[in-house]
Amino acid sequence: MSIRKHLFTKSLMLFLSLAAIISCGHKSIDDQAEQDAEEYNKKFCPTPVVNFSRTDSVKFDRKTRTYTFYCSLVDKADNEELINANREQLTHTLTQTTKQTPGMKKFIDAGIKFKFICRSGSNPQKILLVAE
């Protein structure tokens, strides 16, 4: 099912590419992570809907050293049963995509964690998926 493989890939790849490009200089890795998240939000959020999802915002939490992607699932992906049936695969795809992105290696090597919080597009109060 293509929704399992491509649900977040384009939005995630856009963010990860941006992070790789703008993270340079003599800043600490946490400074870079925080700046990358802020700049991504200013330039791209919310992203256009791609593969039934969009990134609403990105945040870096210094205390927990966690990048969090806040996403909305729309149309066919805004389906709790579908998400529940594919939760493990979706989580795996999100984490593997992050790990396989060259620009994220320095953050991963520095112990920064990644988290995805995906909400229903039709009911934003409802969280459909949390992936770490």
Q: Looking at residues 67-90, what average pLDDT do you find?
A: 96
Relative orientation angle of helices 87-99 and 9-22, to the nearest 10 degrees? 20
What's the pLDDT at 14? 47
Q: What is the pTM of this model?
A: 0.79
| pLDDT at residue 12 tops 70 | no
Question: What's the pLDDT tens digit per position in 94-129?
Answer: 999 988 988 788 899 999 999 999 999 999 999 999
In the chain, the percentage of residues whose pLDDT exceeds 90 is: 71
Q: Which long-range contacts (CB under 8 A, 24 or more apart) does 56-59 make?
A: 56/119, 58/15
pLDDT at 2: 58
Q: What is the mean pLDDT of residues 42-49?
A: 96
| Distance of alpha carbon 85 from alpha carbon 81, whole angstroms | 6
Lowest mean pLDDT across 5-9, 73-77, 90-94, 114-118: 5-9
